[in-house]
Chain A
């Protein structure tokens, strides 16, 4: 199972929006609406941010949203804030009760 492809890094100024792509195949991202996203600050465990493509868990700011088109999922961070600077990973069901993560994206707030 190959990792989902994410850009190595994205950046934006406070208040701007950034989009992180997550490219998979029809066997994972494209085949199921089971993409989730995680935020990870240095030295910390990942935090659950988005599930089932576009659902937000309780407590996650509505600045974070998700979408999917074909084999590509996206995480959009609107109104970028300093505390959003972190690594972000997508995660998808890949069939046959297996899962796959993305390669990870570092978000930098300029």
Chain B
């Protein structure tokens, strides 16, 4: 059974760095072809793809946010970490992690999401 759960702060101040952790079970990020993505959704708005990390540690980022995003993985803990620098109130959103389908092009299993509010 595949599960994913996001964790991190519910509130960050403007200009701070956000660090989110995705803890998963039911699969390993050392398995060839396994990929994880982060997605966010501002309240009442659409989903936005942020980043992807692969089993071989390749990482890919949204063109518009790549200067602010960093992904890493800790395979021993079954965790993936996303950091986003220089947070702004417009970054207020629910942040999701998702395991991608084996074909590599879609988001098969999702975490429950974590709401992060950016406010002073």
Chain A interface residues (CB < 8 Å from chain B): 1, 3, 32, 34, 36, 38, 45-48, 51-52, 57, 89, 91, 93, 96-104
Contact = CB atoms under 8 A, between A and B. Distances in A.
Nearest to A48: B108
8 smallest beta-carbon distances between A and B, as pairs:
A36-B106, A34-B105, A97-B60, A51-B106, A99-B49, A45-B110, A101-B47, A104-B46
B101 A101 contact: no
A21 B111 CA distance: 26
Interface in B53-101: 60-64, 96, 101
A100 B61 CA distance: 12
B106 A48 contact: yes
B46 A101 contact: yes
A47 B96 CA distance: 12
A89 B47 contact: yes
B46 A103 contact: yes
A91 B103 CA distance: 14
A60 B103 CA distance: 18
Q: Which of A3, A32, A98 has the most CB of B within 10 A?
A: A98
